[in-house]
Amino acid sequence: MMNDDPLWLLQTAFAALADLAFACALGALLLNGWLSREQAFAAVSPARHGWRRAARGGPIAAIVLILCSFVSLWLQSAAMSGAPIPQAGASLWLVATGTHAGIGWSVALVGSVLLLLAASGASLSMLRIGTAALAALIVAAGKSAIGHAADAGAFSLAEGVQTLHLLATAAWGGIVIAGAFVLPALDTSVARAVLIRTVARMSKAASIAVALVVLTGVFNGWRGVGGSLAALTASVWGHVLIVKLALVAAALAFGALNRWSALPRLQRSASTMDAHTVINVMRIEAVMMAGVFVAAAVLSHSVPGSALAG
């Protein structure tokens, strides 16, 4: 049965929100970079409104990520100490520095602060790009040390694969979710060329991220079921995994629709109707990806099917 403990529900909810915020921060940074290449920051640029959305969205998402990481660390302290949530601060330092999960959340928190620094500012310099890449890696590595991959030990292959999986999923989801927020600001006739080029870049980057998500996801999923597909139907964890896979498949379908149908049609016609189609399909894909992050948070805070089967 699904866990109905209030502490578990809070941990899962804030973990899901942290994953969403991480993805949105990465997506906003990528869009900021792509639009900066179009000189969209210029006062006379028709794409300036879209660039401002990306530039503002990155820091906001990073702040949410910092808050969620801190709250998650606090909740982890409550779970490990057995203290009521309001009194969990008494053991916060001990948990943050003396437990594997606490260290993981602490590392993710440090990475979140770095990500905020990278996302803040008007122009994307090479220093900010490098800081953002390092921050994203730190956040993903910290979060990989919190979930089931940590069972294989620190710096294990499982943690490495999970780190790559989290990065790729955040990049894919972030491109789509941030895109659904930024692209409508480019939906004008004078910014249509920028919209088309930006969507093309988003599609290429998302395709690379999707390939990594699938490869690392197969490894994680097979490890989670212990090599037995029976765990998919014999446990709640398996049921949630099926839901996640269905959401991923739906997101892939809508992404493919944009990449292979809607975008080529927009590139040929540059029409308002085709621009609306691309944006609306991306909005649906964004909803699917939000569901993926929620399902992933539930999985990471539930007993894997392999353990229950064993």
In this structure, which topology does domain 6-309 adopt according to CATH?
Formate dehydrogenase/DMSO reductase fold (1.20.1630)
Q: What is the pLDDT of residue 108?
A: 93
Q: Would you say residue 227 has pLDDT above 70?
A: no
Predicted local confidence at residue 1, as pLDDT: 47
- Say yes or no to pLDDT of 306 above 80: no
pLDDT at residue 18 greater than cutoff 50: yes
How high is the pLDDT of residue 140?
Answer: 95
Please give the Cα distance from 143 to 105 (Å, whole number). Answer: 7
Domains of the chain: which residue ranges? 6-309
pLDDT tens digits for range 137-194: 999 999 998 877 777 777 788 899 999 999 999 999 999 999 999 999 999 999 999 9
Residue 310 has pLDDT above 70, yes or no: no
Give residue 43's pLDDT: 92
Cα(35)–Cα(205) distance, integer angstroms: 14
Q: Mean of the pLDDT values across residues 56-76? A: 95
Euclidean distance between CA atoms 277 and 257, whole angstroms: 10
Q: What percent of the chain has pLDDT over 70?
A: 94
Is the pLDDT reported for residue 125 higher than 80? no
Q: What proportion of the chain, given as a percentage, has pLDDT over 90?
A: 74
Least confident residue range of 134-138, 141-145, 257-261: 141-145
Taking phi over 0 as left and psi of -120 to 50 as alpha, with beta for the rest, 270 belongs to left
238 vs 11 pLDDT, higher one: 11
Question: Model's pTM, two decimal places?
Answer: 0.93
Region 272-286: what's the mean pLDDT?
A: 97
Q: Average pLDDT of 270-286?
A: 96
